[in-house]
């Protein structure tokens, strides 16, 4: 960004997901699908072909019965701000046709479907597997296209798509604010579909830079961790877990490495 353009309206939207509360029920996944016009096939059991912008993973501690433990981990796009928070997330800088972009205003990584020509380099770049390719033409069983959301365009075959923190809701909230003579929106006015749907209130969303937003405090929770911090991708999705093995599962550690997942002291 050029000198002089810096302003206090810069936001960094992010998410804090409380894994202690998450029950793995999948409501977030479906809310996301409904909001974002995600197509479906007759067979969706191959998860590597299935488009789920938000996928709930099941983690286990690998111990035998009855010491086994499992934990669910919902994984939206991490909206990495990249090394040094410069916005060069792993996927953005690799896109040859500038179809994916990082906005310094919101910290959201966007995907422009009409610009994407489907080279899938971004998918190779993303270690979280948040990017999905449209292997098929999107076809709805007769009549079902009636529930499509007009705020999100339907993606054609052959392009990559991913979670965008329901950016359309940000736009809608902005429009409302303009009507009311405001230029900024309130925390509650912009919440992604998954956050809204979560029946356990496990997901919190807001501006990570704004001390008034709930996520600001939550990200400093001693239980907080992010996925693959060692790669310096700088994700904007934080997870909370009171279980050490879960926090440990957030990153790769080599043997005998001192694992720093102890709850931090306040």
Scanning residues 115 to 154, which ones bind another protein (CB under 8 A)?
Answer: 115-121, 123-129, 131-138, 140-154
Tokens 């809701």 sit on residue:
169
Q: Which helix (H) or strand (E) holds 71?
A: strand 70-75
Site for another protein contains 159 (CB under 8 A): yes
Tokens 């390719």 sit on residue:
133
Q: Which residue of 3, 8, 46, 262 would you call a contact of another protein, by CB under 8 A?
A: 46
Q: Which helix (H) or strand (E) holds 196?
A: helix 193-197
- Within positions 208 to 237, which residues make up the interface with another protein, using CB under 8 A? 227-228, 230-233
- Within positions 25 to 44, which residues make up the interface with another protein, using CB under 8 A? 25-27, 29-31, 33-35, 37, 40, 42-44
Tell me whether residue 202 or residue 213 sits nearer to another protein (CB atom).
202
Distance CA 29, CA 13 (A): 19
Site for another protein contains 62 (CB under 8 A): yes
Q: Which residue of 15, 16, 17, 71 would you call a contact of another protein, by CB under 8 A?
A: 71
SS3 140: coil
Distance CA 191, CA 186 (A): 10
Site for another protein contains 261 (CB under 8 A): no
Token pair for 55: 């996928």
Site for another protein contains 250 (CB under 8 A): yes
We find the least distance from the C-beta atom of residue 74 to another protein, in angstroms, to be: 11
Cβ partners under 8 Å of residue 16, min gap 6: 203, 204, 205, 214, 215, 218, 219, 221, 224, 237, 238, 239, 240
Tell me whether residue 63 or residue 264 sits nearer to another protein (CB atom).
63
Tell me whether residue 48 or residue 262 sits nearer to another protein (CB atom).
48
């Amino acid at each position: 960004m050029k000198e002089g353009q810096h302003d206090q309206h810069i936001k960094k939207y992010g998410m804090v997901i409380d894994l202690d509360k998450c029950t793995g029920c999948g409501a977030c996944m479906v809310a996301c699908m409904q909001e974002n016009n995600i197509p479906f096939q007759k067979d969706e059991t191959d998860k590597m072909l299935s488009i789920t912008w938000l996928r709930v993973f099941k983690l286990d501690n690998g111990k035998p019965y009855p010491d086994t433990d499992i934990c669910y981990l919902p994984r939206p796009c991490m909206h990495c701000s990249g090394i040094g928070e410069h916005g060069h997330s792993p996927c953005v800088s690799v896109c040859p046709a500038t179809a994916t972009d990082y906005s310094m205003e919101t910290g959201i990584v966007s995907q422009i479907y009409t610009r994407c020509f489907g080279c899938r380099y971004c998918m190779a770049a993303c270690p979280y597997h948040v990017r999905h390719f449209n292997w098929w033409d999107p076809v709805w069983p007769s009549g079902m296209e009636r529930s499509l959301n007009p705020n999100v365009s339907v993606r054609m075959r052959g392009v990559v798509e991913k979670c965008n923190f329901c950016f359309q809701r940000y736009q809608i909230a902005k429009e409302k604010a303009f009507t009311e003579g405001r230029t900024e929106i309130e925390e509650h006015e912009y919440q992604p579909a998954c956050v809204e749907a979560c029946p356990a209130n496990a997901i919190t969303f807001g501006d990570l830079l704004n001390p008034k937003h709930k996520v600001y405090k939550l990200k400093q929770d001693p239980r907080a961790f992010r996925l693959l911090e060692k790669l310096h991708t700088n994700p904007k999705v934080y997870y909370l877990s009171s279980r050490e093995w879960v926090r440990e599962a957030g990153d790769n550690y080599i043997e005998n490495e001192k694992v720093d997942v102890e709850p931090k002291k306040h």
